[in-house]
Structure 1
């Protein structure tokens, strides 16, 4: 197959999975600057890729004009009008498989992500669990480009640079000089991956003792925004950013952090893309599944008591909570979280 000059990359959601593309696409862009990439994803995620020169974001409107079979046919036509030569499907779900059929009719080659379902099932089953480190997701992404004739190694890429904050954002954050900036993203899509709120408040209370520390709270949606606003009023060195600035501005703040405390969720991946040290708290999932933040050391992964909860990981995404595993994250002491945060900040 002749190497394509214009590649369509498909990854529609979720935020963490989309964010994990950044090192791969940056490495690709730098190694193959002559190749054009059109990235099909949610328009909301476009700021993630603003630093990548030859990557253009095409916003999928899957709840609007691209909804259903008819909408996907319309979408395929719009994408074909861009004169794409090949497709790298980094999502491999029903929508992208339907698009694949439309592209095949036009003889556009499509290479798809190998999700490693068999080994993930072996890792997450309760009986005869095969407890081994699986291939990181970014490697799986890179393999798809290799299939198209463009081998790429994200390990060698220089990550995204620190961004300049706008005056509007500075009015909210204050100046960075003289204080360490810690981001905390205390929520996740599923309850099994969120640190209990009472324990997170203990962490915040302990961090109040650090005079030269400023904490920024990240979250989204009305419920999370309300909680974070309440927490910020209880802890003087904490500022909630939820609902106050745009996603693009949030990324700029994240790029200026000295460390990020995150669950197994998107914010950890956002911070890792800027080479910010990320401490992650894990519940029913596990770094072995391949979804750990990019280039973060194992010492930054704080896990539940695996002797007490040997079935972890019980799933890849933590959607369901097995009986008896409701309180796994309570086996991660707040003191351990605070200690690791302090260690990381001292190293920084």
Structure 2
């Protein structure tokens, strides 16, 4: 074990959900090791996640191609001159972070990298002979990496908003003040194997649009998702899309006001979890056993089907072996509606 470091450099570039999963751990380091100075490297646009963490954030804005090589070496040179690092902690283990590790080693800086459990995850998803069991969560893998770096912690985290923050005027202009049940719906994910069929999710939207005292807030990102949500926003009087209208930090604040978030196995599940908002998560090709479930979310809020082919993928990026994505298509909208109602009306 490396002796307790005073200045640590932590690397986790993407994806947004995985970066969000570092937050409970980072909060715990700052709380339990107050003499340790933490610098975190990630994509520039995720910076709002690290506000109020006591962590110095550095955005790695590296271009692609030949110019990216120049950017990379300039970036490393900046990091090396910035501090005399006691240890570099790689929570990503991709090409970018591997090269950084090699360079830091050349300058005698200790380096510790995450064990992603790739073989275990392969065995979890292989068909027909699966090793079907709960694997270590990503949170646990982060904690293990920190322990090996000389920073043992117990993760103690509830929410990034320990006291309720007032909605900003621009959010109030968009959504109004909260005087109804707010249901968040984030119907998209990066890969098809993680997306509930839009026409079925629209049935959920349609159901709650007819309810009094309910507002539906739609979340998404990118032009295609914005356009799709705009159609629902136009079609349903009680639905409002925030896609492309507010920034990440503002989205987190809106999520803090939600009564429930409906999400795929995607970043929005993790973002809402950071605000301690209940999440109804819908799982298809992937499975919570791979270790990517939302922080402190009750397992009763998981919606999934018990199929022998599940999970077929860790990330949902493989084609369905049957061609029909039955793991998602066979989930009934009524199942999602019942779970939402169970959550929002039990709070009364």
TM-score tier by shorter-chain length is over 0.9
Task: Give 4+ residue runs of structure 1 displaced > 6 Å after superposition.
Answer: none
Unaligned residue ranges in structure 2 (runs of 5+): none
Question: Are residues 1:15 and 2:3 paired?
Answer: no
- Relative to the length of structure 2, the TM-score reads 0.95
Aligned counterpart, 1:163: 165
Q: Distance in 2 between matches of 1:140 and 1:88?
A: 12
Q: Distance in 2 between matches of 1:70 and 1:166?
A: 40
After TM superposition, give the deviation of residue 67 of structure 1 in Å: 5.6
Following superposition, the deviation at residue 320 of structure 1 comes to 1.1
CA distance in 2, matches of 1:104, 1:66: 24
Query: Deviations for 1:86-106, whole angstroms, at most 9, x for unmatched residues?
Result: 111000111101000100011
Deviations 1:209-256 (A, max 9, x none): 321111110011111101101101111111000111122211111121
The correspondence for 1:320, drawn from 304, 312, 318, is: 318
* Offset at residue 64 of structure 1 (A): 6.3
Cα separation, 1, equivalents of 2:346 and 2:111: 45
What is the SS of the residue equivalent to 1:81? Answer: helix
Residue 332 (structure 1) aligns with: 331
Match of 1:176 in 2: 178
Checking the alignment, whether the CA contact within 8 Å between 1:163 and 1:256 is kept in structure 2 is: no
Which consecutive unaligned segments of at least 5 residues does structure 1 have?
A: none
* Equivalent position of 1:347 in the other structure: 346
The answer for the alignment partner of 1:99 in structure 2 is: 100
- Residues 142-291 of structure 1 aligned to structure 2 (within 5 Å): 142-154=143-155, 156-161=156-161, 162-177=164-179, 179-291=180-292
Q: How much has 1:70 moved relative to structure 2?
A: 3.7
- Give the whole-Å Cα distance in 1 for the aligned partners of 2:296 and 2:67: 37
Distance in 2 (CA, whole Å) between partners of 1:107 and 1:69 is 22
> Over aligned residue pairs, what C-alpha RMSD do you find?
1.5
Range with bigger deviation, 207-216 or 287-296: 207-216
Cα distance in 1 for partners of 2:325, 2:121 equals 23
Tell me, in whole angstroms, the C-alpha distance in 1 between the residues paired with 2:318 and 2:65: 33
- The number of residue pairs the alignment matches comes to 342
Instruction: Report Cα offsets for 1:10-68 as digits up to 9, x if no partner.
Output: 00010100110111101111111221111100110000110202x01101012269964
Q: What is the correspondence of 1:33-182 to structure 2 with a 5 Å cutoff?
A: 33-53=34-54, 55-63=55-63, 68-83=68-83, 84-154=85-155, 156-161=156-161, 162-177=164-179, 179-182=180-183
Deviation for aligned residue 1:301: 0.7
**CA distance in 2 between partners of 1:176 and 1:123 (Å):** 43
